[in-house]
Amino acid sequence: MELEPIIGLEIHVQLKTKSKMFCACDNTGEDKPANTTICPICMGYPGTLPVPNAEAIHMAGKAALALNLHINNRSKFDRKNYFYPDLPKGYQISQYDEPFSQNGYLDVEVGSNQRHIGIERLHLEEDTAKLLHAGKSSLVDFNRAGTPLAEIVTKPDIKTPEEARVFLQELRLIMWYLGVSDADMEKGHLRCDANISLRPLGDSKMYTKTEIKNLNSFRSVERALVYEIGRQTKLWEAGQAPTITSTRGWDDKKGETVAQREKEAVHDYRYFPEPDIPPLEISSKQIELWQSELPELPNQRRQRLVEDYGLSQNDAQFLVDDKALGDLVEKLVEDLAPELENDIKAAAKLATNWIVNKLGAILRENNLMVDGLKCSVDKLVEFLLIVARRQVNSTNAQVLLKRLVETGRDPQDILDSEDLAQSSENGGLTEIVQRVLNSYPDQVKEYKAGKEPLIKFFVGAVMRETKGKSDPLVVEETIKDQLVS
């Protein structure tokens, strides 16, 4: 029997508002001592009244529109009732049958294929407290209780573990570009539960699903789904396909899912409308305002970099993924193009090569961020112009860039003080080339016999003689002239 996986994701995105979802407490409690950013409201004291955070609603509106969701003009909050030590009130304020938004989608590139992943809903809710386990004891830190969450639920449209990973990575990028969340999985800003079931290929029926929790990285999501497909396939082959919806945790060290409990059904939560919060009324005018605030999104930027800048898909993807580096390259292209006869593609090619490949390597080597660079955009433009004008060869240009990053000094000053400039004078070059060729008579014979790659050997020898200050292209042409004379 050939089986196919049916996968859906439930994603919680922490919104980086200044205060919590229903109270005025500081929303940066993860950086504060335990139980210091709390109040009677987020601690669930009787008689307290929650008030929705307008900025959280604003952020959720932009996130919903970026995911092509329909924002409902009317939605409401509900109480989701269950008991757990991290839930101080004994219920969570969430949204059930009238969510903030629904019926959206996200298109993602998986390999060479484009996949259309439906999104069922995005709704608002509050986060729980955080449990800290120490031996046989568990402690509760309530700093996180009440943090605003946007819960995003996909439709069961995902077909492979790779698609799940790519979808999550694209979702994180969108949250970054919107500025609504840091979406750091390791810090819990973006958390994902994966629902998976199998069914015979060609069947349209939905079978019993298993929920996988404790997925704290994109790699974990993909690995856990791969493992679960294997586990469930064996059950199907043994005639024991799952019949009870269950929850399993992911053990990253063992590389396997572990049974936790049977999954609760909706009726177990005893949802009912939150009596202390009136329904949300969102006008069409407000939705239009949120729409006007949307920035250029990752997929739009990717397409523009390919079409307008002439970049490869890989380079465009790299610049979109590293937003700060992408912003730097675009600023450099803007300032550089007028100096290159307004040739946008030439400026983009030059900036991408040196900033992505060379500067990126220096940043990684020194554990630096783009925002921490000592050198200004103007100085980087000046450096790129020095390269474009062939005032320095490639080897010395890398030295110049490294010194620029280290000191922030003017590139021309570094070029002059460290004697890195490429000589524009050809006087004496012919003599040096002839001397080098005379030193390697055997290699000259081999070149003339057809071993043309030896030209690089001769160029290297001449560059050593000139201490790297000659133009390699001029050197190569001079050598060829001498070899045919």
d(CA 157, CA 119): 9
CATH 1.10.10.410 range(s) for the chain read 429-484
Three-class secondary structure of residue 114 per DSSP: strand
Neighbours of 425 (CB within 10 A): 8
Q: Which two structure tokens, joined as six digits, stand for 251? A: 């053990």
Q: What is the pLDDT of residue 423?
A: 59
**The pLDDT of residue 134:** 86
Neighbours of 327 (CB within 10 A): 12
In terms of Cα–Cα distance, which of 220, 63, 33, 36 is closest to 150?
63
Neighbour tally for 50: CB within 10 Å: 20
Question: Are 387 and 404 a contacting pair, CB within 8 Å?
Answer: no
Cβ pair 52, 17 in contact under 8 A: no
Are the CB atoms for 197 and 159 separated by under 8 Å? no
> Which CATH number, 1.10.10.60, 3.40.50.300, 1.10.1740.10, 1.10.10.410, labels domain 429-484?
1.10.10.410
| Residues whose CB is less than 8 angstroms from the CB of residue 128 and which lie 6 or more positions away in sequence, other chains included | 84, 86, 87, 92, 144, 145
Give the helix ranges, DSSP H, for 254-393.
284-292, 298-307, 313-321, 323-336, 344-351, 360-365, 377-388
Q: Give the integer Cα–Cα distance in Å for 164 and 154.
A: 10
The DSSP 8-state label assigned to residue 337 in this structure reads G
- Amino acid found at 96: Y
Residue 39, class by beta-carbon neighbours within 10 Å (0-12 exposed, 13-18 middle, 19+ buried)?
A: middle
Backbone angles phi, psi at 149, to 5 degrees: -125, 140
475: number of Cβ within 10 Å: 25
In angstroms, the CA 422 to CA 411 distance is 14
Are the CB atoms for 77 and 93 separated by under 8 Å? yes
191: β partners: 12
Is residue 118 a contact partner of residue 105, using CB atoms and an 8 Å limit?
Answer: yes
Helix (H) or strand (E) segment spanning residue 252:
none
For residue 362, what pLDDT is reported?
85
DSSP 85-103: TT-TTSEEEE--SS-SEEE
Structure tokens at 297: 């999104």
> Given the DSSP bridges, would you call strands 256-262 and 3-14 parallel, antiparallel or unpaired?
unpaired
pLDDT of residue 428: 63
| pLDDT tens-place values along the chain, 485 residues long | 899 999 999 999 999 999 999 999 999 999 899 999 999 999 999 999 999 999 999 999 999 999 999 999 999 999 999 988 999 899 999 999 999 999 999 999 998 899 999 999 999 999 999 999 888 899 999 999 999 999 999 999 999 999 999 999 999 999 999 999 999 998 999 999 999 999 999 899 999 999 999 798 999 999 999 999 999 999 999 999 999 989 999 999 999 999 988 766 777 889 999 999 999 999 999 999 999 999 999 999 999 999 999 999 999 999 999 998 999 999 999 999 998 889 999 999 999 999 888 888 888 888 888 888 888 889 999 999 988 887 887 778 888 999 998 888 999 898 888 877 765 555 567 777 888 888 888 888 888 888 888 888 888 887 787 777 677 777 777 787 777 75
Q: Which of 15, 20, 25 is nearest to 64 (CA)?
A: 15
Identify the CA nearest to 173 among candidates 56, 301, 10.
301
Q: How many CA atoms lie within 13 A of 292 on its CB side?
A: 6
Our measurement of the distance from residue 367's CA atom to the centroid of its chain's CA atoms, rounded to an integer in Å, reads 18
Reduced to 3 states, what is the DSSP secondary structure of residue 182?
coil
The CA distance from 45 to 39, in Å, is 9
Smallest CA-to-CA distance from 222 within 231, 236, 212, 232 is with 212
Burial class from Cβ neighbours inside 10 Å (0-12, 13-18, 19+) for residue 342 reads exposed
Q: Taking Cα atoms as reference points, which of 397, 365, 372, 394 lies closest to residue 382?
A: 397
- What was the pLDDT predicted at 426? 52
Maximum C-alpha span of the chain: 98
- The CA distance from 1 to 192, in Å, is 30
Give dist(CA 228, CA 1) in Å, integer: 17
Q: How many CA atoms lie within 13 A of 183 on its CB side?
A: 20
What was the pLDDT predicted at 330? Answer: 95
pLDDT tens, position by position, 302-337: 999 999 999 999 999 999 999 989 999 999 999 999
Q: Give residue 36's pLDDT.
A: 97
What H or E segment, with its residue span, contains residue 262?
strand 256-262
Residue 213's SS3 state is: strand
